[in-house]
Chains A and B, each alone.
Chain A
Amino acid sequence: MEQSKFTASSIGKKFLMAATGFFLMVFLLVHLSVNLFLFGGKQAFNEASHFMATNPLIQISQYILAAGFIAHIFFGIKLYIQNKSARGKVTYAVNQWQAHTPFNARTMIYTGLLILCFLILHLKDFTIPIKIADTRRFTHYELVTEHFKNPIYTVIYLIAFILLAIHLSHGFQSAFQSMGARHKSYTPFIEKLGVLYFWFISLGFSTIALWFFFKQ
């Protein structure tokens, strides 16, 4: 009973956004680490990919990951609708957003929904084909490298990682705040770590896309 009261409360919902956000941020790190094996060549990546596809622990985490994504998206949309209605019917005629609300913080729902579109594209072109692929015909390495021969596909990827960078530039430190972790002694460090994190993730994935586009 208490649990449902907690998740229905404003702070509880933000806690869930933060908890799922943290989980997804760890996932991004794992995903990028596997992708970096692409630089090691066909055999290295296929082995890393095979490990991910067969390791029982990874297999179980997949379902938790899917639940994490769904919860993050569901609560994100729910919070957006609630927050919109909290403003009331009449909104300000003049509002100096730039004076008080940073761009990345006020666009979380838009960057989030666009990342969702990218996620669907990614599921269709990589996640699902990898699951049902006939690896005798083509390996995971070829599946990836073939896609990045297409310039439009590569550009879509690059845009997605810019959006992800904007989303993470607020999300990282925001997740700490929602969990109650803010203090003048360590918050500056968390903020710096957040900058490092979103650059690492976005540059890492983008470099892979660009590398295989120009390598062809």
Chain B
Amino acid sequence: MILLNRWRRLTASLALLWMLHPVTGAEHPNESLEFLYIDANTGGSSGGHTAVKLDDTVYHFQNDEGYTRLARENWQRFRLVYNDVDNRNIHGAKIALLSEDLQRIRDRLGLRFMAQNRQVDYLTALQRDVSFLSALESHAPVQIVGIGFFDRRAHQTSDFKDIDDAIEIDHGPGFIRSERLRLQRRLETLAYVPPAKPARLEPDRYPIYDPTFSEQLEDSYAHWFALTAIDQGWPLRDGLLIEAGPLDPTDTATHSSHPNRGWLTRYRDQLREAIIRTLVSPYPGSGSPLLLSLARYQAISLSLSTGKFLVLDVLPNQSERGRGELSEADKVPLRRLISQLQKTVHGLLAEGFRQPEPDESVYHRLEVAASELKESQAGLSQERAIQLGQSDGPPKGIGYAVIPNHAMSTPQLPRARAVAAQKAQQFLEQMQTAYQYQLITHNCVTELVRAVNSSFEQGNETRALGGHLDPGAEQSFVPFRFFELVRQRYRVTGTETLPSQRNRRLTQLNHEESDWKVWAREGNTLTSTIYRPRLGDSAFLMFTEHAFWTRPLLGTLNFGYALATTSAGLLTAPTDQASLLKEGLFGMLFSIPELGLWNIRKGTFNDMSPD
């Protein structure tokens, strides 16, 4: 009842706030964005977390190796991680604003995300310079994306013959061989030149960087490899193709008029055009996409000749990566996934390729769904755990090669490596300076406020959002305090809470059984049917999320339980890599706030809720 009254008062206050924050002029806000506050829990973001949701896209700042990094995620994925797996309630406050103001925020966050991603890519490339130079020193192979698609056996396929012919006709006989020679010479003679120190990092401007030493070598090698694959007719590696189904799903016989066949033929034509253009006019970074196009080109040619819809496996060699056994409990969602994936594959084969214009994203969806289906079925039959998260992106074709580079002498290589390491370190420090992470002044909340405010000229955010917040002021560096200020200051039109996975399941049980029975069984970790203790959750006995006045008492029980676990952990430390000891120590740590009426720990899940 008290809560209900508070809720009514809050709603009335919100209505009043709305009236007090009129938008100037005749325009009325017709769009909305949502500030999110994610409850605390053990693990990452134990102080709670903050994000902003624009339609289906969520932006939030994270601490990544000492600097704040802007992350952009699909809402479904964000909710899966924070609401289902991490078991945190997500609270949202919707703010009404004009569509042009929403677009300003979207553009600012989008540009900032791209600019920082490019800077992070550059840092990675500088770090790869070091590993490439080390590899050259020891004549060791380096990883190159795309070369793993092909088997270096000559004259095994004639699928590239039309590409070869088209290039020879347009650019003269011998073009491919002369290009191969040119690239070979470049690979042999490219010396490391230290890059100039980049200018000050600007968060809102897309940076321009010259290709690094490793990027130039990788790109040249990929182009050389592609030309050689065409010239010598290299086939795809064995086991790389998956049969998604018949090319004509209604009849296994090949029909030259079936939409799938027509679509694939047009897509292959598009790929051929892109391959030829990239070979003739390469641009920095085009090597790996070129090899992917060649691999898909061959997969489509085989599909058309065999009448089977063959796609590249985006999850190759998964069985070689030991991931432990599949538990009985995990078989249930896995069977559910297999059934859903089968429907997806069949649906795509039946309906997905009806559009007249080929679309890479549709083709890629089939690659992903067919690969995930194959991997899920293998996991179930072999009773091994599977990992599907890596299927996020086109097939990679990772391969290794020794680069035949002789540009630097034996004494020059270690010197070049030292300089490269220094350059990478310098740039990392630049990143840490530009995007410094500090607990109070530069964290996930303060940076979000700064980014949103920077979308507007001075003072205009007050007009756009209905109010103004200074980053970190009034203790707003704490996520829940920030959310409270959002509700007080901005033009909030509604609030909503998405209960965590455990809370959703508790609500369901409360409909089926009496409250006290559910509390007695589900309130502790020993008899709970919803929750199973997981490594990283810390050792605890009683859930304290819903208790308030009894929280110190339950916290004392948790502290005692964690203390006992710690003692046991001391004994088992030599045999279990101190994991029980860590659980016990963290259990004690997260019990301390409970003694002071505060709850952080809620338990986490590793499976999906039934709903």
**A and B associate:** no
